[in-house]
Amino acid sequence: MEKAGFGKWVLGAFFVLFVLFLYGPTLTILILSFQGPEGGLTFPMRGVSLVWFRRLFETQAVGDFGGSLTRSLLLAFLVMMATVVVSLAAGLAFRRRFAGSGALFYLTVASLIVPSILVSLGIGILFNQLGLDTAWYSSGLGAQLTWTLPFGLLIMFAIFNRFDASWEEAARDLGATSWQTFSHVVLPIILPSVVGVALFGFTLSYDEFARTLLTAGVDNTLPLEVFGMTTNITTPVLYALGTLSTALSFAVIGLALGAVAVLQRRRARRLSG
């Protein structure tokens, strides 16, 4: 067993290095975003300040941060709602075989496999040929859904694989209609996982870049704005934006996890009481 212990140490060290590799760069820009007003893009820190965060909100200096953030949050909310409703409905349907279920499943998986720039370009050209203007809330929304829906549906599959159908049978035996069975039995049971799908939809949309690039129209979403800034901003404002955007992502994750915890506690209380 001496040798197995050694292997475990090597693997453990490898894992620690991997985590450092994952987090190191992000932590660096987190620190550098508090760079003093004289400081540059790299270390050393010349003092500590919030000046780069303040400069972020001065529209003139760095493009349209407030506008792009608002659009990104709105779009992420729309994508989240659509992802939850559409993949939940489809997940319910896929519990039974129906004509075309195989084809639709493969189409959904294909939506993940097709390189993002092709989706972006295809939708862009399609709108152009139809004489329609692309906009984040129409073509951009659709483009992002081709990315979030497959994830949503795959999570739904995982949920319903573990779902005990006898609960539904019990409800039906007691005289519940399909809708009552769904809303009083199925939905409450799977609700925490549905919150997970919502979280996926929101963050995938909030961070999406390639599929939005040619479909967002004239107004940028936040990742597009960041991309624009990388070519012409050479101050720590860029890091401030990165820090703020990441903080917002984490706030959303925290909210979702909190919601799941509340749901589960409420359920535990109901079951015990």
Partner 1 sequence: MAGSGTAARLLPYLQVAPLALILGVFLVVPILTLVVVSFFDYDSVRIIPDFVWTNYAEVLLSAVTWRTYAKTVWFAALVWAITLFIGFWVAYFLAFHVRSRTVQTALFLLCTIPFWTSNIIRMISWVPFLGRNGLLNQALLGLGAIDRPLEFLLFSDFAVVLAFVHLYTLFMVVPIFNTMMRIDRRLVEAAVDAGANAWQVLTNVIIPLSKPGIAIGSIFVVVLVMGDFITVRLMSGGQSASVGLMIYNQISLLQYPAAAANAVVLLAIVLLMVGAILRVVDIRREL
Q: What is the DSSP string of 154-201?
A: HHHHHHHHS--THHHHHHHHTT--HHHIIIIIIHHHHHHHHHHHHHHH
Sorted by sequence, the CB contacts under 8 Å of residue 253 that are 6+ apart come out as 199, 203
User: What amino acid is encoded at 86 in this protein?
Assistant: V
Which residue in 20, 28, 165, 183 binds partner 1 (CB under 8 A)? Answer: 28
| Binding of partner 1 by 96 (CB under 8 A) | yes
Nearer to partner 1, 99 or 270 (CB): 99
Nearer to partner 1, 3 or 270 (CB): 3
Least distance CB 119 / partner 1 (angstroms): 6
**x/- contact string, 125-164, with partner 1 (CB under 8 A)?**
xx-xx---------x--xx-xx--x---xx--x-------
Contact between residue 223 and residue 208 where contact means Cβ atoms under 8 Å apart: yes
Nearer to partner 1, 161 or 270 (CB): 161
Give, as ranges, the residues between 203 and 222 that touch partner 1 (CB under 8 A).
203, 206-207, 209-210, 214, 222
> CA separation (Å) from 8 to 18, 20, 21?
15, 18, 20
**For partner 1, how many residues bind (rule: CB under 8 A)?**
88
Sole window of 36-44, 54-62, 188-196, 261-269 interacting with partner 1 (rule: CB under 8 A): 36-44
Token output for 89: 């409905």
How far apart (Å, rounded) are the C-alpha atoms in residues 226 and 244? Answer: 12
Least distance CB 112 / partner 1 (angstroms): 8
Token output for 76: 């992420």
Nearer to partner 1, 74 or 253 (CB): 253
Q: What is the dihedral of CA 97, 103, 104, 110, to 10 degrees?
A: 140
How far apart (Å, rounded) are the C-alpha atoms in residues 100 and 53? Answer: 52
DSSP 8-class letter at 50:
S
| Binding of partner 1 by 223 (CB under 8 A) | yes
| Binding of partner 1 by 38 (CB under 8 A) | no
**x/- contact string, 107-126, with partner 1 (CB under 8 A)?**
xx-xxxxxxxxxx-xxxxxx
Contact between residue 190 and residue 159 where contact means Cβ atoms under 8 Å apart: yes
Token output for 120: 């972006």
Sole window of 54-62, 187-195, 246-254, 258-266 interacting with partner 1 (rule: CB under 8 A): 246-254
Give, as ranges, the residues between 54 and 93 that touch partner 1 (CB under 8 A).
82, 85-87, 89-90, 92-93
